[in-house]
Amino acid sequence: MNQEQLQKRYLKEFLTAMGAYVITLIISVIALERLNLPQIIRFLVAILPVLPTVFVFLAIMRKLRDSDELQQKVQSYAIMFAAVGTALITFGYGFLEHIGFPKFPTIWIMPMMFMLWGFSHSYFWKKYQ
């Protein structure tokens, strides 16, 4: 499979999973706000949006596995940068919480990691072109 076909397959899988994520997120938020559900059901509804993210990760992993060596190298650097950057930011902020900074909502860790991954991917892709 060439890189163009790989990208098309990835976008189809990724966008489908992200669409499912958005739908389950909306359903989850509305149900938790408006319905008086038993605690176990509230738990299941609250984590419902996690299920489509599994398919997002599977799409990403499949694309990385099937990419050429240059793309794998660029992605490896970008992922390492995102992981270390996220770790340093959250670790450092944890110390700031001890001096009165507000608690950092953990729900923002994954979006932060993806943002750093995207920025660093652009940087490393340009570097290796």
- Boundary of a domain, candidates 14, 39, 67: 67
60 shares a domain with 73:
no
- Boundary of a domain, candidates 21, 37, 67: 67
100 shares a domain with 42:
no
Assess contact for 104 and 93: CB atoms under 8 A.
yes
* pLDDT band at residue 18 using 50, 70 and 90 as cut-offs: very high
- For 16, the domain range is 1-67
93 shares a domain with 55:
no
Question: Does the global pTM surpass 0.85?
Answer: no
86 shares a domain with 37:
no
Evaluate if residue 74 carries a pLDDT over 90. yes
Q: How far is CA 119 from CA 15, 41, 82, 109, 126, in A?
A: 20, 38, 9, 16, 11
Q: How many domains would you assign to the chain?
A: 2
Residue pLDDT, tens place only, 40-56:
999 999 999 999 999 99
**pLDDT cut 90: percent of the chain above it:** 91
Evaluate if residue 1 carries a pLDDT over 80. no
Q: From CA 17, how far away is CA 4, in angstroms rounded? A: 20
Q: From CA 65, how far away is CA 72, in angstroms rounded? A: 8
